[in-house]
Structure 1
Amino acid sequence: MEHRGLDAYGYFEREGSLGQVQAEFAPVVAAARARIAEAYGRRLHSAYLYGSIPRGTARPGRSDLDLLLALHREPTDEDRDTTEVLGRGLDQDFPQIDGVGVLLYGKDTLIGEQERYDLGWFLACLSTPLLGSDLAEHLPRYRPDSLLARETNGDLALVLPRWRARFEAASDPSEYRRMSRFFARHLVRTGFTLVMPRWVGWTSDLTESAEIFGRYYPLRAEQMRAAAAVALAPVEDPEVIRSYVEDLGPWLADEYTLRHGTKAPRPTHQPA
């Protein structure tokens, strides 16, 4: 029987925990905890892990370390510079990770009404507490419904022009590799949340996400499976990226709008 990430009442179970961190990554997590506390001091409200490391599915040398930091106030340019130094240092010091991603917000943004079904859901359901008081205590419980689908990934149509501009400006194979990974991950996750209310469940596994998507869109199933493979093993082929920004991405954006509508306008939170 499939485990669909929900409790007996149909609410999301929080995925990941510090107890699931594999032994290879325990020193990375310990260093992140210590360095975050030292870098931000009293400015920090709380810190969280997300992604494959707290899920216990990370691959040494291939997985990145993903962090969400909540400050008492909205971050300044100095705070963002501190984040960049923090991430670069962890990446350089620990060969078992391949990059560090850090999301940085003020706590009021994370628990505010505008982000209730996007960043708030992300913190409450997909992030593992690492430091400080858990902001999830201030957020509701969530179900895999169309509102959540719309507010998490209903902005692909707005993101695609930035992707195209980035692709057209690129020429270095390493940049193509980074883009292929980032774009593929985003598309697979968007494809899954498109069908999430019909499947009635949650998974963060990209391969499983693509398979579930394919049950509802068989004509696009192979394309999404290939994107899931690229998300896990990025490529330097620009034609793969071109297919994302000219074919799969536009189709997915149109279908998403048709099914769930458009995400409520807000400032951009993550680089596209």
Structure 2
Amino acid sequence: MEHRGLDAYGCFEREGSLGRVQAEFKGVAAAARERIGEAYGRRLHSAYLYGSLPRGAARPGRSDLDLLIALQHEPADEDRDTAEVLARSLDEDFPEIDGVGILLYGKDRLLSEQERFDLGWFLACLCTPLLGADLAEHLPRYRPDSLLARETNGDLADLLPRMRARAREAATPEEYRKLCRSFSRHLVRTGFTLVMPRWGGWTSDLVESAEVFGRYYPERAAQMRAAAAAALDPVADPAVLRGYVEDLGPWLADEYAARHGTKTPRVPA
């Protein structure tokens, strides 16, 4: 029987834990905890791991380190500069990771009503506490329903023009690979959340996400499986990016809006 990431009441189980971090990555997780505390001091509310590390699925030398940092206040330019320095130092000092991504928000935004089914859900269900008091204690339980689908990934149509612009501006193999990984991940996860309410569960595994999607859209299954493979092993091929922004992406945006509606516009912080 498939384990679909839900508890006995049909609510999301938190998918990661520090106990699942593989031995090869425990050093970088510990360093991240220490350096975040030193870098932000009293400005920090809490910090979280997400992605493959806390799921126990990271690949040495291939996986990136994903962090969410919650501050006591909305981030200022100084805070963003600090995050860039922190990310660069961790990436340089730990060859077992391939890149560091840091999401930086004020705690009030993470707990706000407008983010309840987007950033709030993300923190409560996909992020693993690393440092400080867990904001998830102030958030509700979540179910894999159409409201969640709409508020998490119902903005693909708005994102596509920026994705096209970034694809046009890319010029080097490294830039193409970076965009391939980013676009592939986004489309696979959007494809999965499109069918999430019908499937009735959650997975962050990209290969499984593509397979679940393909059960409901067999005519697009091969494209989504290819995107999942490219997310894990990105290629420096401009044609792949063009296929995303000219074919798969627009189709997915239209189907998403038809089934779930579009994401509620955000009031600028």
1:144: Cα distance to partner?
Answer: 0.1
TM-score by length of 2: 0.99
- Please name the residue that 2:129 is paired with: 129
1:192 maps to which residue?
A: 192
Counterpart in the other structure of 2:223: 223
Instruction: List 4+ stretches of structure 1 deviating above 3 A.
Output: none
Query: Once the two structures are superposed, what CA deviation does each residue of 1:39-71 show, in whole Å capped at 9, x if it has no partner?
Result: 000000000000000000000000000000000
1:61-116 per-residue CA deviation (whole Å, 9 max, x = no partner) reads 00000000000000000000000000000000000000000000000000100000
SS class of match (1:80): helix
* Cα separation, partners in 2 of 1:154 and 1:209, compared to 1, 3 Å: same
Matches within 5 A, 1:183-262: 183-262=183-262
Question: 3-state SS of the aligned residue for 2:102?
Answer: strand
Partner of 1:111: 111
Q: Which residue of 2 aligns with 1:98?
A: 98
Task: Give the secondary-structure state (helix, strand or coil) at the position aligned to 1:175.
Answer: helix
Q: Does 1:169 align with 2:166?
A: no
Cα distance change, pair 165–264 in 1 and its aligned pair in 2 (3 A): same
Q: How far does the alpha carbon of each residue in 1:197-239 deviate from its partner, in whole angstroms, 9 at most, with x for none?
A: 0000000000000000000000000000000000000000100
Q: Matched residues, percent identical?
A: 79
State the match for 1:159 in structure 2.
159
Relative to structure 1, the CA distance from residue 267 to residue 62 in structure 2 (aligned partners, 3 Å threshold; closer, same or farther) is farther
Q: Give the CA deviation at 1:169.
A: 1.3
Structure 1 residue aligned with 2:69: 69
- Unaligned ranges ≥5, structure 2: none
Q: Which runs of 5+ in 1 are unaligned?
A: none
* 1:120 alignment partner in structure 2: 120
What do you get for the CA RMSD once the two structures are aligned?
1.0
Count of equivalent residues:
269
Shift of the alpha carbon at 1:170?
A: 1.4
Give the letter for the 1:53 counterpart: L
